[in-house]
Structure 1
Amino acid sequence: MGRLEHACLSFRSWLAVTAAAFLLGVRPSACSDLTGSRPNILLLMADDLGIADIGCYGNATIRTPNIDRLAARGIRLTQHIAAASVCTPSRAAFLTGRYPIRSGMVSSNGYRVLQWTAASGGFPTNETTFAKILQDKGYATGLIGKWHLGLNCESSDDHCHHPLHHGFDHFYGMPFSLMGDCAQWDMSEKRAGLERKLNLCFHIVAFAALTLTAGKLTRLLSISWTPVIGSTMVAILLLTTSYFVSPLIVHADCFLMRNHSITEQPMHFQRTTSRFLKEVSSFVRRNKQRPFLLFVSFLHVHTPLVTTEKFLGASLHGLYGDNVEEMDWMVGRVLDSLDTEGLTNRTLVYFTSDHGGSLESQLGNKQYGGWNGIYRGGKGMGGWEGGIRVPGIVCWPGVLPAGRVIQEPTSLMDVFPTVVQLAGGQVPQDRVIDGRDLLPLLLGKAQHSDHEFLLHYCENLLHAVRWHQRDRGAVWKVHYVTPRFHPDGAGACYGKMVCPCSGDKVIHHEPPLLFDLSRDPSEAHALTPATEPLFYEVMERVAQAVKEHRRTLSLVPLQLDGSDNSWKPWLQPCCGPFPLCWCDQESDSQ
């Protein structure tokens, strides 16, 4: 090759690098330093997806070509951990980069997620999300899909917990969560419990009314008819409410909002998938000339597994498999929106689930929850791997290496500092941030994760801790408390949709259970002082880390406790005169 040819090639290479750097907002002399490069950020989060439900994590029978292609073009994290094994606290930690106990997005009384849209608990106003920081840096910010982090504080329209109050310019989705009750499914999160309570109250009040009536008629009680009539009316009201409790829940929780306005109450779920995809396409198109952050929070694959007709019966795994395959198709459509606008190479895409698949979602002999592969336990089951180990895929064509697998411990909380620094923002210095910047690990500049310890809470109780002992290449897991599994061997808990965190349905281990996840990721063989020479050394080091962590905690109100997690009629969002909450403002948009 002649010098002129070589010079031309060198110039073309320089020109290509300069053009790429210009598109990404990176100085040519600092192409390897991506801090402040201001790419678009697209975050995709499934709901209740098991880590082994998708092909690139080992599933050979459910078809997930779009998610698999994303992994092939990007980086796959194999030890990616949620900060909680249920929705509300996990999502709060994701958005803030902080353990949910720091923000109070936990409970101490068994109600592990927000129970009602019309509850006063929710995301505290003094918490800072990555959306807020990127918004302040000039990003367009949008959330499409599930929120489940609260809505109002004191009135039905103060919107103190609303996404728009936490850094999102645009919200289109469900402020609560898709529950079995929304489709009046046989598997109900709260209908059965409410009916039991109402029926019990009815029988008590009805017995009192009959007693008062009998006493009055036989002249054993010298009272007026007022308490008799009053107790009878209360009994009738309780019986009527019990009869209508299912449609009441549907109207109270299962509705759609655009920003602050209710557009559909109750939701028509067969139209929701197409509307969410149309909203994604519209958001990307509107904001293609400026950097944007878009969080697509799928309602899939939470029960009741609402699936459009096109995908019903399409999989080998019943309704659950159908729902997973439809979600994968949705991922493909979302990625197509980037391609259509020429934004693929300027966008960092991240895919995950809020926690592991549910083993409790079973009706008869049919399992409607996910598969967590070799990992023990599932959704709601304390610190067991099956409930907290989730998919983690990061793709940025031309910037991050394709097809790489990282086996270091990482967390959903790491998204916070990663996207904040990519956008040129500053991680808050006035509070503890538990997430760690993923970029050095993703780019291959760091050999190990910055996480030495990760703590696994169940409500406000510490159930387990993992210690990444880097010099030995070991990942130790210490369990202090575990849920009691049902003896039938199915891996479910005693008569609960989600396992309890305390009480007589958990086991306190003394000494704690110890596993080496690097050798035993299934947590099948607990180590003992007799089988592990380092047993006491590991226990002592983990106990010291827990002590240091607790020094950093501050007392904050628990948002999911007591009356803050109860239905309050004055907080009920309603698009008509309460209780006639019905509207369909988007009936023409299919």
Structure 2
Amino acid sequence: MKSLLWIRWTLGLLLLCTADADSGRKPNFVFMMVDDLGIGDLGCYGNTTLRMPNIDRLTLEGVKLTQHIAAAPLCTPSRAAFLTGRYPIRSGHFFFYRNSERPFLLFFSFLQVHTGLFASPLFRGRSQHGLYGDAVMEVDWSVGQIMQTLERLNLKENTLVYMTSDQGPHLEEISINGEMHGGYSGIYKAGKSTNWEGGIRIPGILHWPGVLPAGKVIDEPTSNMDIFPTVLNLAGASIPSDRVIDGHDLLPLLQGQVERFEHEFMFHYCNAQLNAVRWHPPNSNAIWKAFFFTPDFYPENSSACFHTHICLCIKPYVTFHDPPLLYDLSKDPTESTPLSPDTEPQFYSVLEVIRAAVSHHAESLKPVPVQVSPLQIVWKPWLQPCCSSLSQLCTCERDHQIEKLRNELQKE
């Protein structure tokens, strides 16, 4: 029930903020990020057992990215990259084990389908995949509610909608009754907390009628870091010049102005350790991926880490590789067969280019404070954003208006 109330409250707030939208102004933005959703959970990415008509419709009317990569395989670093357009290591996000006159940006961050799972009564028992499947179906319903509201407010034609996940599914989650509460990575290997494709290849669906082509599929490597510069350019704002921005404006690629995107290299971190590198050479269809270390799965014949509940990237839970494991994702997207000098004539030359790119990338990094240390993540009341007084701590007039709206929605 809490999910239904939350989505209705959000839609009501959207209604208050956008009642008199002007179609001639700069675009609006609606971003929907599901937590721990697997790319294989969605019908538009191949799932045949979960019904998701709203997300499927969003895909048919928009652009689908098939190699959309999360900048990190864990929640906080991935979201930090999405919000800043930068690798999370640049901003210290890693662990050491309105009004109607202005365009709006709505970032709807789903609680689902992270653990502990829940589904509202209307969705319980409706899927073939237990509580997890029920929750995914509820996510689809929520997407539909947001899209219907945009249409009702005549905002659909002037709004860029982006739907994604923060990383791959949490495969090791099992309920006390033995029910699997994890998602599905499709054909891709492993899941959350790993830099195998199942951990970082995420849904990437962008919808903007009349601006983006309907039903287009793009196979170029892209990143959730690309949303930040895309929004800045569409909003007429300047890209910050005082820091490195790792993302690139997606619009030329989405509209077909270019066929190749700007990500020649992508650097995949596991916390503060560089785990893998992806290289998409110019004038080549190859997508090389080199692993410097990989997590030790348990059981060994699985692609998950049930002994630690989630895969770790510290000794003794990883295996280092010298030379690195090398794959060509254009031929082996499942990462099932590592290449060798005997099977790939370019083996050493590819690794040489990747190592040079790593050195160049390392030179661009500057030491920063760790933002997710215990001292940083403890709740600090004095940092609570509010306009309150001592007698009414963190209580604002706007809060009363929102509470009134929520009560009205609950009565309906």
TM-score, normalised via structure 2 length: 0.86
Q: Return the alpha-carbon distance in structure 2 between the equivalents of residues 352 and 292 of structure 1.
A: 19
Query: Partner of 1:462 in structure 2?
Result: 274
Report the Cα offset of residue 570 of structure 1. 9.5
Query: Partner of 1:342 in structure 2?
Result: 154
1:307 aligns with 2:119: yes
Query: Partner of 1:203 in structure 2?
Result: none
Query: Partner of 1:133 in structure 2?
Result: none
Give unmatched runs, 5+ long, in structure 1: 1-21, 26-37, 111-139, 141-285, 576-584
Q: Which one-letter code corresponds to 2:208 in the other structure? A: W
1:560 aligns with 2:380: no
State which of 70, 73, 76 in structure 1 corresponds to 2:58.
70
Deviations 1:176-204 (A, max 9, x none): xxxxxxxxxxxxxxxxxxxxxxxxxxxxx
The answer to whether the 8 Å contact 1:484/1:494 transfers is no
With over 3 angstroms needed to count, the CA separation of the structure-2 counterparts of 1:517 and 1:338, relative to structure 1, is: same
Query: Partner of 1:535 in structure 2?
Result: 347
Q: Secondary structure in 2 aligned to 1:77? A: strand
Report the Cα offset of residue 24 of structure 1. 4.4
Deviations 1:462-504 (A, max 9, x none): 0000000131211000000111000253322152232111110
With over 3 angstroms needed to count, the CA separation of the structure-2 counterparts of 1:532 and 1:316, relative to structure 1, is: same
Query: Partner of 2:69 in structure 1?
Result: 81
1:327 aligns with 2:139: yes
Q: Which one-letter code corresponds to 2:83 in the other structure? A: L
State which of 171, 174, 190 in structure 2 corresponds to 1:362.
174
Q: Which one-letter code corresponds to 1:374 in the other structure? A: I
Q: Return the alpha-carbon distance in structure 2 between the equivalents of residues 42 and 404 of structure 1.
A: 20
Question: RMSD value over aligned CA atoms?
Answer: 2.3
Report the Cα offset of residue 102 of structure 1. 0.4
Q: Return the alpha-carbon distance in structure 2 between the equivalents of residues 540 and 488 of structure 1.
A: 31
Q: Secondary structure in 2 aligned to 1:555? A: coil
With over 3 angstroms needed to count, the CA separation of the structure-2 counterparts of 1:569 and 1:341, relative to structure 1, is: closer
Report the Cα offset of residue 510 of structure 1. 1.0
Report the Cα offset of residue 365 of structure 1. 3.9
Q: Secondary structure in 2 aligned to 1:366? A: coil
Q: Which one-letter code corresponds to 2:213 in the other structure? A: P
Deviations 1:230-255 (A, max 9, x none): xxxxxxxxxxxxxxxxxxxxxxxxxx
Q: Which one-letter code corresponds to 1:426 in the other structure? A: S
Structure 2 matches for 1:474-489, cutoff 5 A?
474-487=286-299, 489=301
The answer to whether the 8 Å contact 1:494/1:505 transfers is no
Q: Return the alpha-carbon distance in structure 1 between the equivalents of residues 24 and 269 of structure 2.
A: 38
The answer to whether the 8 Å contact 2:63/2:207 transfers is yes
Structure 2 matches for 1:333-482, cutoff 5 A?
333-363=145-175, 365-381=178-194, 383-482=195-294
Structure 2 matches for 1:235-314, cutoff 5 A?
287=100, 289-314=101-126
With over 3 angstroms needed to count, the CA separation of the structure-2 counterparts of 1:569 and 1:42, relative to structure 1, is: closer
Q: Return the alpha-carbon distance in structure 1 between the equivalents of residues 300 and 68 of structure 2.
A: 30
Q: Which one-letter code corresponds to 2:219 in the other structure? A: Q
Q: Which one-letter code corresponds to 2:181 in the other structure? A: Y
Q: Return the alpha-carbon distance in structure 1 between the equivalents of residues 143 and 196 of structure 2.
A: 28
With over 3 angstroms needed to count, the CA separation of the structure-2 counterparts of 1:570 and 1:447, relative to structure 1, is: closer
Deviations 1:163-188 (A, max 9, x none): xxxxxxxxxxxxxxxxxxxxxxxxxx
Q: Return the alpha-carbon distance in structure 2 between the equivalents of residues 307 and 493 of structure 1.
A: 26
Q: Mean Cα displacement is larger for which, 296-305 or 530-539? A: 296-305
The answer to whether the 8 Å contact 2:172/2:306 transfers is no
With over 3 angstroms needed to count, the CA separation of the structure-2 counterparts of 1:373 and 1:553, relative to structure 1, is: same
The answer to whether the 8 Å contact 1:454/1:466 transfers is yes
Structure 2 matches for 1:99-178, cutoff 5 A?
99-108=87-96, 110=97, 140=98
Deviations 1:243-295 (A, max 9, x none): xxxxxxxxxxxxxxxxxxxxxxxxxxxxxxxxxxxxxxxxxxx63x5311111
Structure 2 matches for 1:207-226, cutoff 5 A?
none
Q: Which one-letter code corresponds to 2:107 in the other structure? A: F
Percent of aligned positions with the same letter in both sequences? 54
1:47 aligns with 2:35: yes
- Quick check: which has more Rg, 1 or 2? 1
The answer to whether the 8 Å contact 2:312/2:318 transfers is yes
Report the Cα offset of residue 565 of structure 1. 4.5
The answer to whether the 8 Å contact 2:125/2:134 transfers is yes
Q: Return the alpha-carbon distance in structure 1 between the equivalents of residues 153 and 342 of structure 2.
A: 61
Q: Which one-letter code corresponds to 2:332 in the other structure? A: D
Q: Which one-letter code corresponds to 1:335 in the other structure? A: M
Report the Cα offset of residue 360 of structure 1. 1.2
Query: Partner of 1:550 in structure 2?
Result: 362
Report the Cα offset of residue 511 of structure 1. 1.0
Q: Which one-letter code corresponds to 1:318 in the other structure? A: G
Q: Secondary structure in 2 aligned to 1:529? A: coil
Query: Partner of 1:96 in structure 2?
Result: 84
Report the Cα offset of residue 306 of structure 1. 1.5
Report the Cα offset of residue 525 of structure 1. 0.5
- Count of residues in Structure 1 that have an aligned counterpart in Structure 2: 372
Q: Which one-letter code corresponds to 1:342 in the other structure? A: N
Q: Return the alpha-carbon distance in structure 1 between the equivalents of residues 179 and 340 of structure 2.
A: 37
Q: Secondary structure in 2 aligned to 1:308? A: coil
